[in-house]
A = this chain, B = another copy of it.
Amino acid sequence: MSENDTFKIHFLPNDKIVEIEKGNTVLDAAHKSNIYINSICGGDGICGKCRVILSSGKIDAPATKLLSSEEAEKDYILACEARVTSDLQILIPKETRLEGKKILFDQNEQHSLTWNAILNKAQFKHDSLVKKVFLKLEPPTMDDNVADHERLCQAIMMKEGVDLNIMQTGYRILKQLPEVLRQNDWAVTVTLGHRGRTLEVVEVQPGDTSQRNYGIAVDVGTTTVVASLLELESSKVIDSEAIYNTQMKFGEDYIQRIIYVIQNEALDEMQRTIVSDINNLISTLVKRNDINLDDVTSIVCAGNTTMIHFMLGLDPENIRREPYLPAANFIPPIRAAQVGIDINRRGLLYALPSVAAYVGADITSGATAIRLDKEEMPSLFIDIGTNGEVVLGNKEWMVCCSASAGPAFEGSGVRHGMRAAKGAIEIINISKDYDVNYSTIGNIPPRGICGSGLLDCIAEMLRSGIIDRSGKFQKGIETDRLRKKEDEFEFVLVEKEETGIDSEIVITQADISNLVRSKGAIYAAVSILIESMSLSINDIHCVYLAGGFGNYLNVRNAITIGMLPDMPTSRIKFVGNTSLTGAKMALLSEEAFETVQKIASQMTYFDLMGNPKYMEEFMSANFLPHTNLEEFPSVQKELSSQNT
């Protein structure tokens, strides 16, 4: 009954009402009211993730195969395709929402434990990028009438053993200095921040506040933003928090978001969105731990090249256009306030360096976290996130590439895929008679399958003969779990009664194809890098696998499906979110920060898209474990023993 063709959309369970003009989609309305609706394809009507329930009202939508007839009966619609033609009430079902899913951000996280041991093991000296130093200055006399500023600098020099020449004092500090120095009888705490080759006096406070010095480490992911709060003096990780990147409303992957920015001249909006997410994380962390925002003096951010560009408001346009150039890989430290990040108003923001448009600071940070630069023998670092990046190297050299693996192991493009959050199936075991055992994160009824579960699933289906080496279902097997539905075969992992959502949890033929392509892309990238250095798989000493798979990653299964090269599992290490780990190390250790810079400047980037061999390798890897079984002798043995 609205006039002017404007309609009210009432979203439940959020209970938010938004007005929108006729002809817009339900997804548009959700964006407008800042409600997150799963939408991997960014509104192209392809992924089918944005299913919502139309409780009342009328919409206009094309026919779709992405909804089952059962779903259609229950008034499920695709938010991205449903055009508004009346006032509506829309119910967003659990699986389409993100709220309430606690994201797991670091399976090795041990809060309130000091990181000294971790730094020690990584051979980094604890020396925060920004530190507080308590100084008792000698009060001036007629015989010692050194000016205020120089008196302070000399005291810093004596205590910290730094060269006076590298010290810089901001203008604002100079203006307050005479008063601050005299406020507590020449006892002051200086905040010192590394800025390139100089050491900046970031703040001077009366009295001793040296114990109140906190820093934030952030992994700015395309999908998830994770932040940790650290006590810098004691090198304790106090707390961590994660949220979904609100930029998802502009597109599920970063290329879509770059296009959005270009088409809508929306760089400012994109920057504000991620900065607001980061500020929300910081605000949550400081409030929960009763910390003053002014005592947060530094923030270190890792993330892929595009995310860092968005955060800083740097023009991302050339990232997606040949020859794929970032505005900058190396970002000088700046004041966090300059980009709108809320910490101490003079606090410093350190964005870690990228290598190229498609190998970002998450990778340089990760390579630092695992100290790839200390390896004697060539080792691999593989980070599987929204993309897959591979680094091969040792203490003398490093080569890297981006595998365009896609986010299948993050749950995208997989019917019941999800991130490693509560309710995600993270371990799957399938018996010879096709019985499925699983365990979920948080031991609650399953809501979907996370990366480690998907990996187990493929490996176990291969072992038990549910699928063959090409990833196709073996239609002859005797089980009701394998069934055909709407022209596609699917395997039921969990029956509806057992799940925490309103349906079974299945894995479809399309899901398997996606996962196989994804693992194939990674293996092909690994092969190309190894070949490029004239090495063979036998020369690889160690594989570090990073990503948000979950708590328990079965590395044997990663070999079985041919994602990782065939080698003793003892030499494969699952290392979790190394992007965040590296950011924490940099926050706590200037040496670590310098190491990230060094690694970034020394890595050689290979562009796979321009490499004709890559497509060849990819095709060969598009098999379980590989077209050439000889590359996987242990899997060959395993599979043949299984078949006997």
Contacts and interface: CB of A to CB of B under 8 A. Distances in A.
A478 interface: no
A175 interface: yes
A575 to B, nearest CB: 27
A327 B149 contact: yes
A356 B196 CA distance: 31
Interface residues of A, number: 52
A500 interface: no
Contacts of A141: 323
A178 interface: yes
Contact of A314 (B174, B326, B605): B174
Contact of A149 (B149, B150, B168, B329): B329
A177 B327 contact: yes
A485 interface: no
Contacts of A148: 318, 325-328
Contacts of A317: 178
A149 B323 contact: no
A1 interface: no
A150 B329 contact: yes
Given A325-B148, A326-B147, A174 B331 contact: yes
Contacts of A149: 326-330
A303 to B, nearest CB: 16
A329 B147 contact: yes
A142 interface: yes
Interface string A298-334: 0000000000000011110110001111111111101
A141 B324 CA distance: 9
A179 B142 contact: no
A346 B354 CA distance: 27
A65 interface: no
A197 interface: yes
A331 B173 CA distance: 11
A165 interface: yes
A171 B334 contact: yes
Nearest to A149: B328
Interface string A565-583: 0000000000000000000
Contacts of A326: 147-149
A161 interface: no
B145 A312 contact: no
A257 B177 CA distance: 21
A16 to B, nearest CB: 35
Contacts of A167: 196
Nearest to A167: B196
Contacts of A318: 148, 178
A492 B426 CA distance: 107
A456 B605 CA distance: 78
Contacts of A178: 314-315, 317-318, 325, 327
Contacts of A166: 196-197
Nearest to A166: B197
B174 A196 contact: no
Nearest to A609: B142
Nearest to A143: B323
A194 to B, nearest CB: 12
Contacts of A610: 142
A319 to B, nearest CB: 10
A558 to B, nearest CB: 31
A265 interface: no
Contacts of A312: 171, 174-175
Contacts of A330: 149-150
A140 interface: yes
A354 B146 CA distance: 11
A339 B171 CA distance: 9
Interface in A12-53: none
Nearest to A176: B315
A174 B353 CA distance: 14
Nearest to A331: B174
A302 to B, nearest CB: 17
A140 B325 contact: yes
Contacts of A150: 328-330
A145 B323 contact: yes
A332 B147 contact: no
A292 to B, nearest CB: 26
A139 to B, nearest CB: 9
A354 B149 CA distance: 12
A179 B316 CA distance: 11
B179 A315 contact: yes
A557 B179 CA distance: 48
A174 B328 contact: yes
Interface in A349-377: 354, 356-357
A140 B326 CA distance: 11
A323 B356 CA distance: 57
A327 B151 CA distance: 10
Interface string A132-175: 00000000111011111110000000000000011111110011
A71 interface: no
Contacts of A314: 174-175, 178
List the 6 shortest-distance A-B pairs measured between CB atoms, nearest first.
Answer: A149-B328, A147-B326, A178-B315, A145-B323, A147-B329, A142-B323
Given A147-B356, A175-B312, A177-B327, 13 more contacts: A142-B607, A142-B610, A144-B323, A145-B357, A148-B318, A149-B328, A150-B329, A165-B197, A170-B332, A174-B312, A174-B314, A175-B327, A197-B197
25 contacts: A140-B325, A141-B323, A142-B323, A145-B325, A145-B356, A145-B357, A145-B605, A146-B325, A147-B325, A147-B327, A148-B327, A149-B328, A150-B329, A150-B330, A167-B196, A169-B332, A171-B312, A171-B334, A174-B312, A174-B314, A174-B328, A177-B315, A178-B315, A178-B318, A198-B198
